[in-house]
Structure 1
Amino acid sequence: MTPGPRHAVRAIILDEDDRILLCRFVPPHPAVPEQATAVWAAPGGGIEPGEDRLTALRRELHEETGLVITADPPHVWHQHVMAADHPPGVGSIINDYFLIRATHFQPRGELGDDHLATQESLAGFRWWHLAEIADHTGSDLFSPRELTTPLTALITTGAPARPVRLGL
């Protein structure tokens, strides 16, 4: 049996100043390409067997950030990332992103920083202004790579009627 794509959920968490909370993942995390030192990505992770997307999102957010959500957030983006050196569907990731508006908080996951660092390759959190992402010149990458374009649309026009398809 050929393994299919890995399904994951991610949260676009925006605070009252339209800052986005991102996680810094370092190797050997699968989201970090060989040439990169790290990737800044929205919190979230894989959907476990028997979970639906929103159950997985709630679990991942609580584990990683300590955030507890009760309402069903809107599904805003859909991304299918295919590994360049694998056949179609094998080694790929499907990310579904949901918009969450929250009051600014210090992320403190239920699993603890040490566990997240060793098991998840999560090296930290940071709240980013859109301009900081656009002006970033460091070696770290963002996921999606062109994060500023869909994030600008999300901040200026709100949640789309249907999820926007994203590239790498």
Structure 2
Amino acid sequence: MTEPNWREATRGLVIDEDDRLLMVKYVFPSGDVRWGTPGGGLDPGEDHIVGLHRELHEELGLTGATIGPHVWDRRHLFPMLTGHDGQRERYFLVRVGHFDPVPAIGWEQMRAEFLHDVRWWTVDELDASPESCIPNRLTTHLRTLLTDGPPPSPIDISD
């Protein structure tokens, strides 16, 4: 069996002092709409921390955030426009004070990357919402993280 052609990606669980999670709204060319965490593919030669700082700045206007522990891993097979077979993601905890996100790359570029909105959510709001989230079982994993703190090693949350 051939190993999939993975795109390496990094994601931030950006959580404020009231345990609200900052999420971005993806509207894919298929018409599928999902809320997910900020982040994205790594540039050539870029490590996960540097890539996450870049993504948080581009998508949220967030600079200088302390990147906390690597808490989750996720592999997701799906055909990508980049030619990859799927994505391998590392999720990092990023605790911040509440702020109003303003994408540094602007909304035109955000929409070109399928990102159409940014907002803060409580876990209860996510549970009550009819909106779909990435990853699956996000609120279950998030509640555990908020209750128990970061795990001693990253948890695999693959679909």
Q: Same fold (TM over 0.5)?
A: yes
Q: Distance in 2 between matches of 1:108 and 1:165?
A: 31
Provide the TM-score with structure 1 as the length reference.
Answer: 0.85
2:136 partner SS = coil
Q: Identify the match of residue 108 of structure 1 among 98, 102, 105.
A: 102
Q: Which residue of 2 aligns with 1:91?
A: 85
Q: Which residue of 1 aligns with 2:158?
A: 167
CA RMSD of aligned residues (A): 1.9
Q: Which residue of 1 aligns with 2:117?
A: 124
Q: Which residue of 1 aligns with 2:13?
A: 12
Provide the TM-score with structure 2 as the length reference.
Answer: 0.89
Q: Which residue of 1 aligns with 2:64?
A: 69
2:141 partner SS = helix
Q: Distance in 1 between matches of 2:118 and 2:31?
A: 21
Q: Distance in 2 between matches of 1:145 and 1:73?
A: 22
Would you identify which runs of 4 or more consecutive aligned residues in structure 1 move more than 2 Å?
69-72
> What does the per-residue CA deviation read over 1:26-56, in whole Å, with 9 as the maximum and x for residues that have no partner?
022xxxxx473x1100000100101011110
Structure 1 spans left out of the alignment, 5+ residues: 29-33
Q: Distance in 2 between matches of 1:3 and 1:165?
A: 18
1:106 partner SS = coil
Q: Which residue of 2 aligns with 1:152?
A: 143
Q: Distance in 1 between matches of 2:42 and 2:148?
A: 29
Task: Give 1:163's aligned amino acid.
Answer: P
TM superposition shift of 1:115: 1.7
1:113 to 1:10, Cα distance in 2 relative to 1, 3 A: same
Structure 2 spans left out of the alignment, 5+ residues: none
1:134 partner SS = helix
> What does the per-residue CA deviation read over 1:48-89, in whole Å, with 9 as the maximum and x for residues that have no partner?
101011110011111110111353421010000113x79xxx
Q: Distance in 2 between matches of 1:41 and 1:124?
A: 11
What is the number of equivalent residue pairs in this alignment?
Answer: 154
1:108 to 1:134, Cα distance in 2 relative to 1, 3 A: same
TM superposition shift of 1:145: 1.6
1:80 partner SS = strand
Identity %: 38
